[in-house]
Amino acid sequence: GKTIHPEVYLPMCIFGSCLLPTGLIIFAWTSTLSVHWIAPMIGAGTYMCGSYIVFQTLFNYMGMSFPRHLASVYAANGLLRSMMGGCFALFGTAMFNNLSTPKYPVAWGTMILALILIALILVPVMFYLHGPQLRAKSKYADA
């Protein structure tokens, strides 16, 4: 009879959140003609591993936090992710075109994204530290 709390998934999410900017930084500074092609692929692979870990752990966290409203939680998550992807498509090309240099064509644009991801590492940390209090205040979460 031990009760499993949703926060059990968050340490792995924090690890995955650290892989995301690490992969982007590797990708940013190795995506040049003078660097072997495997180096940016290592960065992209690191990013993808982090992305997979974050998505899986957050889906589990949301599912355990709101089991009675699971479909709505996943629908809201999908809507938010799609809206963010649509917004980034509006300025992504201009950002990379304006920040590119001849030697590092994608480095500075990718670094901006990596810095945003570094700041977002705090999100799973805060949910880990304050998740029970936040769920206690919600009328939708199971206590």
Q: Which domain holds residue 64?
A: 6-137
Count of domains observed in the chain: 1
Instruction: Say if 1 falls within a structural domain.
Output: no
How far apart are alpha carbons 93 and 100 in whole angstroms? Answer: 11
Instruction: Say if 142 falls within a structural domain.
Output: no
Instruction: Say if 143 falls within a structural domain.
Output: no
Burial profile 84-121: b = 16 or more Cβ within 10 angstroms, e = fewer: eeeeeeeeeeebbeebeeeebbbbebbbebbeebbeeb
Instruction: Say if 96 falls within a structural domain.
Output: yes
pLDDT by 10s per residue, the chain, length 143? 788 999 999 999 999 999 999 999 999 999 999 999 999 999 999 999 999 999 999 999 999 999 999 999 999 999 999 999 999 999 999 999 999 999 999 999 999 999 999 999 999 999 999 999 999 999 998 75
Instruction: Say if 132 falls within a structural domain.
Output: yes
